[in-house]
Copies of this chain bind each other. A is one copy, B any other.
Amino acid sequence: MASIVSTGMSKFGNDSRKLMDHLLEASAGIVEQFRDTIDYVVLSTPYTLAFNGASGISSAFTSISGLVDVPYMSVENTSASGSSAILAARSMIESGQADHVLVVGGEKMNSYPTRTVSRIIATLLAKEEASAGLTLPSVAAFTAKEYINRYACPRESIANVAVQNHHNGSLNPLAHFQKEIPMEKVMESRVIADPLRLFEFCPISDGAAALFVVKDDLAESFTKNPINVLSAESSSDTSYLSMRSSFIDIPSIRSASVKAFRKAALKPEDIDVVELHDMASILEIVELEEMGIFPRGHAWEMIDSGYTALNGELPVNTGGGLISRGHPLGATGIAQAVEIAEQLSCKAQGRQVKNHDVGLSLNMAGYGNNANVIIYGVS
């Protein structure tokens, strides 16, 4: 089994730092303390060729970090690259290829105007559909309309996800946004894809996150509070969104969740804290249902009731989620694991949740083109 024994994160946001600055900042604590122990590096910087005109970042990163003769590779799986890097690291450890893996992921997206950034992200869509004008925000908007119609969900209940995640982010000193955004402000913000508005989407963020993952029987020598990866599963769906039966069904999330719960021998009700892929507000609702945490059509009521709030029964996106922490593509899956590890080891300070034995993260590529679900437990 693989255990997380140390974590790191750069301040997410939009500033003048370069991708390498973020990667080094996120990993500095781990590298300084464990440089001679690290025996594999897995990187996740999937869009760096497009955003930063660089390739072979894993080579540059290990060189600059002074990691001598350490093997490495980079993993690409669009917006789920970070969690795929965790899955790869876990396989390295469980196969005996490595015992001490540094996982680092990041993205510097604010290198071009929004228009160019959107065009780069759209390279993950099926070409025929992208050239027909499809964008990820527009799919989120279709999903919201379908959900509202089918389940008589009030419009404000969708926006409430953004209110809650911005609240959580206001307590996370590394989040991109650290400000409360009240309901009126969400509902008055600019329409991005009708009915969804600006504050309901993740921003364009720069940032990096890092994990030090080791073989579980070595974990005790690094920390008193190792976080075990109980299961880490992946499922996929067609990349042709027009071939999906409905936008509120995301079968890859359902399938990966079923596998992850089964392999961890746990049920949804065993989970204490969740990080999920709220690229847009509506996705938090749909994902909670697809993971089997709430019944279909009811997640919005549970969110409205405070069940998923920081002090609720099952806090969700305690770090602010993609909406408030930000979504540097290569970092997100790793930042989710950082947040879960901090919660489970009681280091989340102002946003610490009360129950913290078992955590779950969901990271999604494209619009459910694939989904990675990881379940974490204290040992």
Contacts and interface: CB of A to CB of B under 8 A. Distances in A.
A46 interface: yes
Interface string A308-324: 00000000000000000
Closest 6 pairs (CB-CB, A-B): A71-B234, A94-B95, A56-B124, A95-B95, A74-B76, A59-B369
Interface in A232-257: 233-240, 251-252, 255
- How many residues of A sit at the interface, in one of the four size bands? 35 or more
A49 B49 CA distance: 7
A55 B124 contact: yes
A75 B73 contact: yes
**Could you say which of A53, A56, A236, A240 has the most chain B C-beta atoms within 10 Å of its C-beta?**
A56
A50 interface: yes
A227 interface: no
Contacts of A363: none
A20 to B, nearest CB: 9
Contact of A90 (B47, B74, B95): B95
Contacts of A76: 46, 55, 58, 73-76
Which secondary structure dominates where chain A touches chain B?
Answer: mixed
21 contacts: A49-B123, A50-B50, A55-B123, A56-B239, A56-B366, A59-B124, A59-B236, A62-B236, A63-B369, A67-B236, A69-B236, A69-B237, A69-B252, A71-B236, A71-B370, A72-B77, A72-B234, A74-B76, A88-B88, A90-B95, A91-B97
A56 B365 contact: yes
A127 B75 CA distance: 21
Interface string A283-327: 000000000000000000000000000000000000000000000
Nearest to A54: B123
B73 A56 contact: no
